[in-house]
Amino acid sequence: MILDDFSLKGKVAVVTGANTGLGQGMCVALAQAGATVAGVARRECTETASLIQKDGGEFTEVLADLSKPESVDLILEKVLSVYGHVDILVNNAGIILREDAINVTAEDWNKVINLNLNMVFLMSQAFARQYIEQGTGGKIVNIASMTSFQGGIRIPAYTSSKSAVLGLTRALANEWASKGINVNAIAPGYMATNNTTQLRDDEKRAGEILERIPAGRWGTPQDVAGAVVFLCSKAADYVHGFTVAVDGGWLAR
Ligand code: NAD
């Protein structure tokens, strides 16, 4: 039956940036769909763990700093030591630094590109190697952005990284689709999380943004739940290299 294809029972999912915001929402959604979830974060994921465990779900916390390339192997080793296999990777961790392009330092530029792009590639590569070794195939979902399609304002490194995530998603899908690995992305619109605190605190910008969202409200972590479960499930086995907007209609304007 079709709904069975959306079930993630027996799957092990790794979500980066699991302690808060969209990452937390996606951990809960994947667990509700039946997956065992390993949440990667620099800080403890107490809230995420309790949201999952209260529904009888299974959650393991993996403390790691994704600004460091050596974290990639440590994360994979930890997950494999606990669960023995892995099926799903959600590359969600990301940072945004707001500054006029004219004043952005090389250090800040590199910080954003490193976490939002370089680490997405290195994590995807390590997980794809593992999926191939397991002979199981697997799922990779990258978190893109409206700035994968648009320029944004005062966030040149962020826009560059998220535009590249859309291209990387296509490039990896082209190479790995034949190996049973689905690489796709979700482009959230304007969501009420820490990522947009500064924006939402700016009354004028917040008003302009809200006025332009056809759905008439900012998004929430729950809004990405359906898309992530779908892309991580058997129901999306023939979906490759696509970036799904979950944006309240923003891109349709
Ligand atoms: P958030 O700031 O609440 O979450 C960011 C997550 O990344 C946190 O869990 C944080 O701990 C983690 N993180 C940051 N640096 C890390 C590091 N060095 N190592 C490990 N983890 C690290 O904001 P969010 O909105 O939940 O963002 C999640 C993703 O969604 C990001 O990639 C963001 O760019 C993207 N996004 C957000 C919006 C939005 O409107 N909120 C829109 C489009 C895309």
Residue-wise pLDDT for 139-175, tens only, equals 999 999 999 999 999 999 999 999 999 999 999 999 9
From 27, 62, 95, mutation site for ligand 1 pocket: most ligand atoms within 8 A of C-beta:
95
pLDDT value at residue 128: 99
Question: How far, in Å, from the CA of 176 to the mean position of ligand 1?
Answer: 26
DSSP of 61-128, one letter per residue? EEE--TTSTTHHHHHHHHHHHHHS---EEEE---------GGG--HHHHHHHHIIIIIHHHHHHHHHH
pLDDT interval class at 23 (50, 70, 90) = very high
Ligand 1 pocket: which residues have CB below 6 Å?
Answer: 16-17, 19-23, 41-42, 65-67, 92-96, 115, 143, 145, 188, 190-191, 193-196
By annotation, the residues acting in catalysis are: 158
Give the number of C-alpha atoms closer than 13 A to the C-alpha of residue 186, restricted to the C-beta side: 28
Nearest to 90, CA basis, from 180, 25, 155: 25
Is residue 168 in a domain? yes
Beta bridge partners of 181: 138
Percentage of the chain lying above the pLDDT 70 cut: 100
The CA-atom distances, in angstroms, between 240 and each of 55, 72, 176, 185 are 31, 24, 9, 9
Nearest to 133, CA basis, from 186, 201, 87, 75: 87
pLDDT in tens, 191-227: 999 999 999 999 999 999 999 999 999 999 999 999 9
The CA-atom distances, in angstroms, between 149 and each of 55, 88, 226 are 37, 25, 22
Atom number, ligand 1, closest to the C-alpha of residue 93: 7
Contact (Cβ atoms closer than 8 angstroms) between residue 88 and residue 14: yes
Nearest to 115, CA basis, from 147, 157, 77, 63: 157
Question: How far, in Å, from the CA of 253 to the mean position of ligand 1?
Answer: 25
pLDDT value at residue 226: 98
Is residue 253 in a domain? no
Is residue 252 in a domain? no
Going by alpha carbons, the residue nearest to atom 8 of ligand 1 is 17
Nearest to 79, CA basis, from 93, 58, 52, 57: 58
pLDDT value at residue 48: 98
From 27, 78, 92, mutation site for ligand 1 pocket: most ligand atoms within 8 A of C-beta:
92
Q: Which domain holds residue 107?
A: 2-245
Atom number, ligand 1, closest to the C-alpha of residue 116: 32
Average pLDDT over residues 47-53: 98
Question: How far, in Å, from the CA of 114 to the mean position of ligand 1?
Answer: 14
Atom number, ligand 1, closest to the C-alpha of residue 147: 43
Average pLDDT over residues 41-62: 97
How large is the angle between the packed helices 21-32 and 46-53, nearest 10 degrees?
20
Is residue 251 in a domain? no
Q: How many domains does the chain have?
A: 1
Question: How far, in Å, from the CA of 93 to the mean position of ligand 1?
Answer: 5
Its pTM stands at 0.98
Q: Which two tokens stand for residue 33?
A: 């769909």
Question: How far, in Å, from the CA of 38 to the mean position of ligand 1?
Answer: 16
Average pLDDT over residues 90-118: 98
Q: Which two tokens stand for residue 74?
A: 């440590």
Percentage of the chain lying above the pLDDT 90 cut: 100
Nearest to 149, CA basis, from 243, 49, 41, 13: 243
Indicate which CATH number applies to the domain containing 80.
Answer: 3.40.50.720
pLDDT interval class at 239 (50, 70, 90) = very high
Contact (Cβ atoms closer than 8 angstroms) between residue 185 and residue 147: no
